[in-house]
Amino acid sequence: MNLIDYASILIRRGWIMLLLGIIAAVAAFLFSRGLDPVYRATQKVLIVPSRIDFGLTQAAKQTLNNHVAWLDSSLRAAEVIDLLQLDMSPTQLRGDVRIAPNLDSQVIQIDAESKDPGQAERVAREWGQLLILYRNDQNQQTRREDRIYASLQDNPVTVLARPNVRINAAVGFIAGLFVGAIIVFVLEYLESAIVRRREDVEAIGGLPVLAAVPPSD
Residue 195 is predicted with a pLDDT of 53
CA of 88: how far to CAs of 70, 72, 85, 91, in Å? Answer: 21, 17, 9, 8
Q: 26 versus 102: which is more confidently predicted? A: 26
Domain spans, the chain: 3-34+165-205, 38-162
Write down the pLDDT at residue 188.
77
Whether 151 shows a pLDDT value over 60: the answer reads yes
Convert the pLDDT of each residue in 174-217 to its tens digit.
999 999 889 888 887 776 655 555 655 555 555 565 555 565 55
**Lowest-pLDDT choice from 12-16, 128-132, 211-215:** 211-215
CA distance 37 to 188: 43
Helix (H, G, I), strand (E, B) or coil at 84: helix
Question: Pseudo-torsion of CA 169, 172, 178, 183, nearest 10°?
Answer: -120
Closest CA to 113 of 40, 37, 35, 36: 40
CATH superfamily of 38-162: FepE-like (3.30.1890.10)
The confidence score (pLDDT) of residue 204 equals 54
Give pLDDT, residue 37.
92
Task: Report the distance separating Cα 41 and Cα 159, nearest Å.
Answer: 7
97 vs 113, 161, 198, 212, CA distance in Å? 6, 13, 66, 74
- Give the torsion sign (CA, 60, 65, 66, 72): positive
pLDDT digits 0-9 by tens, 43-73? 999 988 776 766 666 766 778 888 899 999 9
- Coil, helix or strand for 54? helix
Helix (H) or strand (E) holding 42: strand 38-49
User: Residue 140: helix, strand or coil by DSSP?
Assistant: coil
The pLDDT value given to residue 209: 54
Residue 118 contacts residue 11 (beta carbons within 8 Å): no
